[in-house]
Amino acid sequence: MTRFSFTIQATDGKARLGTIAMRRGEICTPAFMPVGTAATVKAMKPETVRATGADIILGNTYHLMLRPGAERVAKLGGLHRFMNWSRPILTDSGGYQVMSLSDLRKITEEGVSFRSHLDGSKHMLSPERSMEIQRLLGSDIVMAFDECPRADQPRDVIAKSMELSMRWARRSRDGFDAGGEHAAGAALFGIQQGALDRDLRLQSAQALREIGFDGYAIGGLAVGEGQEAMFATLNFAPGQLPEDAPRYLMGVGKPDDLVGAVERGVDMFDCVLPTRSGRNGQAFTWNGPINLRNARFAEDASPLDERCPCPACANYSRAYLHHLVKAQEILGAMLMTEHNLYFYQHLMQRMREAIEGGRFAGFAADFRRDYFGG
């Protein structure tokens, strides 16, 4: 069985249509990975997540190491068996979560010492420990351990942080490679840092190329800098990374972010937005997002989205979903999340078809017209 291979079938401008082959299945790119932070995509059963079209999901190293514990998951047969998901799983390294706990953590060359947000207990996360946790979970795509500074920090702070992340990338590579049987069947992705700075990103990309990874993530974006600044960075950052490897933009994003990033050469995405928005009453549609809490939907008998093939749109009205959301019924969160994940996967499928047909620019223009004009 293939450990990891990436094939590009078609390109249209910078947009790429590809396939990642791994022992647990193929991943069609551009791909969107639903986020299963704590070994569950919230409000969804694994088989329902698969039915939306998801080829791969994301698990969270930080949250799983704290609860239920990586050693416990390993004892119970690994993350795939634990949560009943047989296809590929990508695990993040924990670096981003630790960054967001800035008042609870301390960074040194060795790694990050922090207190658990659950019970205040002390922990140390280093490149080696992050690799060990991801190995215990049985991750298919392991992410290198990095630091993710805010984009508004001074350039020298960003540069120092990027250099530290590159030293950690080397240690992540060594720690992963020491993983025996797991390393023989899994893949390791490096993470480019450098915030919005072209030169720092180039230095980071060169350091990662020298180490050598199966895929390359663009980190340090979607952390508050805004879409315009993100797109300006994506105009150059993907092209600094190897052409024959997948490029993964971490933590992105809104549907229009995905279209703009694919346009700029990105292959993989993850984001909590479709699931979190669904639980909070927001649905994504081809005519833009709608908030089902609004009173105007109370007697609206139409489906969430006429163009969506999902079960929520086929079987339920906006009026019923409005009622469920207002009454805080669990079914509302389930149906809204299912719809949003279907929408995201349908969007990825439409983008793949447009790249294959050499009409991506037209697709993107039509999408924006409907999404922002609807």
- Residue 248's H or E segment, with its range, is strand 247-249
- Specify the DSSP class assigned to residue 95: H
State yes or no: is 92 an active-site residue.
yes
Annotated catalytic residue, options 92, 140, 214, 305: 92
Annotated catalytic residue, options 12, 140, 267, 270: 270
Q: Which of 217, 162, 163 is nearest to 188 (CA)?
A: 217
Q: Mind giving me the DSSP string for 97-151?
A: HHHHTGGGEEE-SS-EEEE-TTT--EEEE-HHHHHHHHHHHT-SEEEPP-----T
- Residue 188's H or E segment, with its range, is strand 187-192
Q: How many other CB atoms are found less than 10 A from the CB of residue 35? A: 21
Q: What are phi and psi of 283, to 5 degrees?
A: -115, 140
Cα gap 18→30, rounded to integer Å: 7
Q: Buried b vs exposed e over 159-175: b needs ≥16 C-beta within 10 Å?
A: bebbbbbbebbbbbbeb
Instruction: Show the tokens assigned to 166.
Output: 């590159």
Measure Cα distances from 123 to 72, 130, 276 in Å. Answer: 17, 12, 28
Cα gap 372→363, rounded to integer Å: 14
Cα gap 129→191, rounded to integer Å: 17
Q: What is the 3-state secondary structure (H, E, C) of 290-342?
A: EECCCHHHCCCCCCCCCCCCCHHHHHCCHHHHHHHHHCCCHHHHHHHHHHHHH
Cβ atoms of 273 and 49 closer than 8 Å: no
The number of helices, as runs of H, and strands, as runs of E, in the chain is 17, 16
Displacement of CA 20 from its chain's centroid (Å): 16
State yes or no: is 270 an active-site residue.
yes
Q: How many other CB atoms are found less than 10 A from the CB of residue 112? A: 23
Q: Which residues are catalytically annotated?
A: 92, 270
